[in-house]
Structure 1
Amino acid sequence: MLIDKLITLIKTRHSALSKESISINESGWSNLVVVVGGRIVFRFPRTDSAKKTLQIEQRILPTLGPSLPLPIPQFLYASSPTDEITYVGYPLIKGDPLSPRALHSLSSKQKELVAKQLGEFLTALHTFPIENEFPSTIEASWTIKTWQRNYETIKRKCYPYMDPQLIAWTDRVFTRFLSDSASFHFSPCLLHNDFKPAHILYNSRQRAISGVIDFGSMWVGDPAYDFVGLHKAYGQEFAAQVIRHYGAPIDKAFFRRITDFYLKVMSFWKLLHGIETNNQRLIQSALEKLRMISKLDRA
């Protein structure tokens, strides 16, 4: 069994941890997580794409960490390039995911503190110098090409599962976005790229954010994209509150990209994952969500 193999690897390779308790989290799409002794997190990438991103994390996070106002994973353990199984291990950052329920239970003053922390974190992340880590030629056109590829993937893999009305709506949304030059009038920056409640840790005693985890989707792109998860989970009002504490550049189409495109197409990732894993329940759930979004969009 794969999990038994991973546990054996950890205990054999890192003998000081051999007698520690083990807990498993298999919920992630990109990584399987093993927590050792309630204090060390080991991440095992599930896909080739996740392995490539992990290499970027290993290169960037040690330099990025000290420049951020909140703790992020700092790797203590890592596989070697010749190992059959790829992994990293880092000290657990204490805290619970900042669920919408937890956020909305806070007082106005406490909520403002959280918004300030998140705004300052995204400011530091988005202004981190990327020229030493990515090609100097990186520009907004990379994002155009990325979304063109995403659109082609959706047409190839998702359209067979979709009805004509949903296909027509998808074509309109993508065509409108890709043909609008204002969609790409931004300066590319380093993104967390999966900034959502599960990856934002909250200390309920201190009533403050305690850290940000899972940079497994980290890439360079549109700064507006890191606000999509906040908008979707916590609502437009709180996302705007975070933006008031955001100090990086905001172009004229910043908010339009969030509401008119990114929020509308997020469920395609769920649909694609369902198709790739042959998870019929996930496929149907994603299709229902997309139908609902398309109906609201046409209303």
Structure 2
Amino acid sequence: MPENSAPYRDAIVRAFPDLAGSTFRSLAMGWHSLAIDVDDRLIFKFPRGEEAEQDLRREARILEAVRPRLSMPVPDLQLFEQPLLFSRHDKIPGEHLLHDQYEKLTLEARERLAEMIALFHAELHALPPEAMRRAGATAIKPWLSSAEIRAKALPLVPPEHRALCQRALDFYDATAPDPLGTTYGFFDGHGWNMAFDHVRQQLNGIYDFADSGFGSLHQDFVYSTFVSFDLTWRIIDRYTRMTGRTIDKERVVLLTGAHRLSELAELAEDSRHVTMARNNVAFWAANTLP
């Protein structure tokens, strides 16, 4: 573990002395927290700052509300206040699912994966809004304004993608309320939040509900495009069969573009992440509908 993780290891051992001889592995530092894997069976998450502490408390309440109503395995967060605030949950075995890995999946595995995620969305969208508000769910974080995106992101877009990006932002400017309304949803369904067994080609669960909340129903289908547009279309087809709701795929495509451009604008001056954000825009532009 990196040296700056030592205080967190000490906090875990103080709370759980039986783990003193365990193997500690610091996972990638998130935007708001540090996660530590212990013996490949427990995950401890430490929030960074007051806002992150509030988010962790809310996530624990939300997971308590949604877990009994989901077919998808999700974490069972337990909060601990001493010697500092952190959460603990049993690790859902599996690794991230990235685009290149998805491309290697069999057709049967792709179908199975899409079915599981479509059901996950359908069950979340069916949860009573008032119950989710009582659990602490609020409106999801808005994307940047179109003016900010145009000023900061468009100059970083290659000329061959600029017309398509302009189209996405024009749609973002003029977009009418979602025809399917607002819903409680996950709004973070990319492959970095999946626990995927690559040997069995099976999704074992989904985690990180910190960004879940109320938002446009169509927007909840944006994030799986980070894995593959093929996966997103399969999810949407199955979701429509399960719920009877028709998802406008072009709306999803244009929202995806606006989302990736918003992230590029946010990271425009971040030397560590701006290349990744530019690549995400390029991937969207290369794989979008004509």
TM-score, normalized by the shorter chain, greater than 0.5: yes
1:94 aligns with 2:93: yes
Q: 1:250 aligns with which of 245, 250, 258?
A: 245
- Listed as ranges, the matches of 1:109-188 within 5 Å are 109-134=108-133, 146-147=142-143, 150-151=145-146, 154=149, 158=152, 173-181=168-176, 183-188=177-182
Aligned to 1:190: 184
Counterpart residue number, 2:193: 199
Give the letter aligned to residue 193 of structure 2.
H
Cα distance between partner residues in 2 of 1:109 and 1:115: 10
SS of residue paired to 1:35: strand
Deviations 1:258-279 (A, max 9, x none): 111223432432552464xxx3
Structure 1 gap ranges (5+): none
**1:16 alignment partner AA:** D
SS in 1 for 2:121: helix
> What's 2:234 paired with?
241
Structure 2 unmatched runs, 5+: none
Q: How far off is 1:220 after superposition? A: 1.3
The reply on whether 1:226 has 2:220 as its aligned counterpart is: yes
User: For 1:58 and 1:179, how far apart are their aligned partners in 2?
Assistant: 36
Q: CA, structure 1 residues 50+186, in 2 after alignment: closer, same or farther (shift >3 Å)? A: farther
TM-score, normalised with respect to structure 2: 0.79
Matches within 5 A, 1:1-150: 2-76=4-78, 78-80=79-81, 85-134=84-133, 146-147=142-143, 150=145
| Partner of residue 277, structure 2 | 286
- Which residue identity is paired with 1:241? R
Structure 2: how far apart are the matches of 1:243 and 1:115? Answer: 8
Instruction: Report if aligned partners of 1:127, 1:248 keep a CA contact under 8 Å in 2.
Output: no
CA distance in 2, matches of 1:171, 1:189: 28
- 8 Å contact 2:72–2:206 — kept in the other structure? yes
Name the SS for the 2:45 alignment partner. Answer: strand
Q: CA deviation at 1:225?
A: 2.3
CA distance in 2, matches of 1:97, 1:296: 21
After superposition, the Cα gap between the structure-2 partners of 1:294 and 1:123, relative to the gap in structure 1 and judged at 3 Å, is closer
Question: What do the CA deviations read for 1:113-143 (whole angstroms, capped 9, x no partner)?
Answer: 22211111121122122312327xx99xx67
**Distance change >3 Å, CA 170–CA 101, structure 1 → 2:** closer
- The TM-score normalised by the length of structure 1 is 0.77
Question: How far has the Cα of 1:95 moved from its partner?
Answer: 1.4
The structure-2 alpha-carbon separation of the partners of 1:131 and 1:293, relative to structure 1 and needing over 3 Å to count, comes to same
**Greater Cα offset, 258-267 or 90-99:** 258-267
Aligned mates of 1:52, 1:168 — CA distance in 2 = 41
Q: CA deviation at 1:54?
A: 1.9
Query: Within 2, Cα distance between the matches of 1:208 and 1:7?
Result: 31
Alpha-carbon distance in 2 for matches of 1:229, 1:160: 21
Instruction: Report how many residues are paired.
Output: 282
Query: Is the CA contact 2:146–2:169 (under 8 Å) kept in the aligned structure 1?
Result: yes
1:159, CA displacement in angstroms? Answer: 6.7
Contact 2:74 2:207 survives alignment (8 Å): yes
What is the alpha-carbon distance in structure 1 between the residues aligned to residue 201 and residue 182 of structure 2? Answer: 33
Distance 1:192 1:295, change over 3 A: closer
How large is the Cα RMSD of the aligned pairs?
Answer: 3.6
Partners of 2:85 and 2:147 lie apart in 1 by 30
| Deviation for aligned residue 1:289 | 5.6
